[in-house]
Amino acid sequence: MPPERVSSGQDGDETEDAVKILRPPLRRIPLAEGWVRPGVVTITMSVGQWDALLQASYDAGFLLLELDDKERPIALYQKTCVEASS
């Protein structure tokens, strides 16, 4: 699956010189698996949001919790332990 082109701006804000960051394919995990995990950092993100902080967090093995426009959880992403350590 090719990377998804998304805005790096907040709430879809874009200017002519806005930098586009390609969102790589993410490993989706069931929401029920990630709610409470002691010692695991969870970062929230908007639908379509992708930036260097999210990329670094995902690469480090943090949980990425995607929220819709009403701040309801809709997806959870995390690299596998093997992927995060490489």
DSSP assignment of 4-58 equals EEEE-SGGG---TTPPEEEEPP--EE-HHHHS--TT--EEEEETT---HHHHHHH
User: Which of the four pLDDT bands, split at 50, 70 and 90, describes residue 11?
Assistant: low
Residue 12 pLDDT: 52
pTM of the model: 0.71
Element of type H or E holding 72:
none
User: Which of the four pLDDT bands, split at 50, 70 and 90, describes residue 44?
Assistant: very high
- Quote the number of domains for the chain: 1
CB within 8 A of 83, min separation 6: which ones? 27, 61
Q: Mean pLDDT across the stretch 53-80?
A: 95
Closest CA to 43 of 19, 13, 76: 76
pLDDT at 65 > cutoff 90: yes
pLDDT at 13 > cutoff 60: no
Residue 58 sits in which domain range?
4-85
Higher pLDDT, 63 or 18: 63
